[in-house]
């Protein structure tokens, strides 16, 4: 059901922006994997069309929840950050002290960024860090990344168009002139309800613990959002846990069950894996360390069969010889071997 809810199988969505808006936020610290994750859910899409959606301003990357980069629909960037940034900002304040960054450093970083980007400017990360270095800021040891994330949490900047040097930082209000805002366009109660409804429709079946972990919200807020969704959600019980979902998802699975059981190749950090607190429905616990070697937080691309990971894959070769090579947890079926061999 999660595969069809997330549109990995079944009816694809019309464009990259519709995919990101349906999923609300897609974990995006690995940009190549993110582009693939969006493309595989989009009708007739490829990575090039996803890049164009970033270039057009329909999608941005920012830090809306858990202090982690995500892709979001551009019009969702402001209210999601406003709703979800409280906890990450507290953690960042502690981290800032450890890094030796003062309020004066932050003020200088802010003013320099605005000066560099105002009037439609766009700079890749390296060029922006160079600007900060020129004005005397120390960007080593994670300080530069911290300042970029902080200013995104302040809704000052986000990652927008693609440049040869990498995705560019822009001023959020310039790049996305039409934004939804918390307090102006929706109050906090309505925002919690919308967040719960959108997450559970696109990721369900999912539990309140899954939503709490994904959004970085306390359970009281999650429960308020689910209660606000009311009859718009269906509910099922599995081994004593309540899971919430779009009422249309079971019928959608019935139509596309064969596709959901086929061999699927998912990019690293895909929402099928990262979108839940409890990942055991997809990643067998005994093989979890093979998906995240050493527990370093880097999720490898996975090979799924019948909805369950049976191994990992990686790109190998170059040019026309480039293809995917797999590493099974135990052994691959004939279908999985054939799917890997056919993937270029």
Going along the chain from its start, the domains and CATH numbers come out as 188-250 (1.10.10.10), 283-342 (no CATH)
Token readout for 205 is: 């079946």
* Contacts for 272 with CB less than 8 Å, ≥ 6 apart: 2, 3, 6, 8, 266, 282, 304
HSE, CB side, 13 Å, CA atoms: give it for residue 40.
Answer: 19
Q: How far apart are the first and last CA of the chain?
A: 27
Kindly list the distances between the CA atom of residue 255 and the CA atoms of 7, 26, 189, in Å, as whole numbers in the listed order. Answer: 13, 26, 35
**pLDDT reported for residue 295:** 84
Residue 172's SS3 state is helix
- Residue-by-residue pLDDT tens, the chain, 344 positions: 999 999 999 999 999 999 999 999 999 999 999 999 999 999 987 899 999 999 999 999 999 999 999 999 999 999 999 999 999 999 999 999 999 999 999 999 999 999 999 999 999 999 999 999 999 999 999 999 999 999 999 999 999 999 999 999 999 999 999 999 999 999 999 999 999 999 999 999 999 999 999 999 999 999 999 999 999 999 999 999 999 999 999 999 999 999 999 999 999 999 999 999 999 999 999 999 999 998 888 999 999 999 999 999 999 888 777 889 999 999 999 999 999 999 86
Residue 297's SS3 state is coil
CA pseudo-torsion sign 47, 52, 57, 62: positive
- Report how far residue 336's alpha carbon sits from residue 321's, in angstroms, rounded to the nearest whole number: 20
- Report how far residue 197's alpha carbon sits from residue 224's, in angstroms, rounded to the nearest whole number: 11
CB atoms within 10 A of CB 287: 17
Sheet holding 26-27, edge to edge: 26-27, 68-73, 59-65, 157-163, 166-171, 123-124
Supply angle C-alpha 299, 205, 186, rounded to 5: 90
Residue with tokens 């809704």: 155
Residue with tokens 């997809």: 282
| pTM for this model (two decimals) | 0.95
**pLDDT reported for residue 319:** 78
CB atoms within 10 A of CB 179: 17
Burial of 151 (0-12, 13-18, 19+ CB in 10 A): buried
Residue 136's SS3 state is coil
Residue with tokens 């797999």: 326
């Amino acid at each position: 059901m999660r595969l069809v809810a997330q549109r990995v199988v079944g009816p694809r969505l019309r464009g990259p922006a519709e995919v990101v808006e349906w999923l609300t936020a897609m974990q995006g610290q690995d940009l190549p994997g993110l582009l693939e994750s969006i493309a595989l859910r989009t009708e007739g899409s490829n990575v090039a069309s996803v890049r164009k959606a970033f270039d057009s301003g329909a999608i941005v990357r920012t830090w809306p929840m858990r202090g982690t980069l995500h892709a979001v629909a551009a019009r969702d960037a402001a209210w999601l950050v406003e709703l979800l940034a409280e906890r990450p900002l507290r953690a960042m304040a502690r981290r800032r002290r450890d890094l030796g960054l003062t309020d004066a450093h932050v003020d200088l970083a802010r003013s320099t960024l605005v000066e560099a980007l105002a009037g439609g400017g766009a700079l890749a990360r390296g060029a922006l860090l160079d600007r900060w270095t020129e004005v005397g800021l120390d960007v080593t040891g994670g300080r530069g990344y911290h300042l970029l994330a902080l200013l995104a949490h302040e809704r000052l900047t986000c990652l927008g168009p693609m440049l040869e040097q990498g995705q560019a930082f822009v001023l959020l209000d310039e790049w996305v002139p039409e934004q939804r805002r918390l307090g102006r366009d929706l109050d906090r109660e309505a925002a919690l309800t919308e967040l719960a409804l959108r997450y559970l429709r696109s990721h369900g079946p999912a539990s309140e613990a899954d939503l709490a972990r994904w959004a970085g919200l306390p359970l009281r807020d999650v429960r308020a959002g689910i209660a606000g969704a009311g009859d718009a959600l269906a509910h099922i019980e599995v081994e004593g846990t309540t899971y919430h979902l779009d009422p249309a998802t079971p019928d959608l699975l019935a139509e596309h069950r064969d596709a959901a059981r086929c061999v699927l190749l998912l990019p690293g950090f895909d929402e099928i894996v990262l979108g839940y607190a409890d990942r055991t429905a997809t990643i067998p616990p005994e093989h979890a360390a093979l998906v995240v070697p050493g527990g370093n937080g880097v999720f490898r691309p996975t090979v799924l069969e019948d909805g369950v990971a049976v191994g990992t894959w990686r790109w190998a070769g170059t040019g026309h010889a480039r293809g995917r090579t797999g590493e099974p947890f135990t052994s691959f079926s004939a279908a999985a071997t054939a799917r890997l061999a056919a993937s270029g």
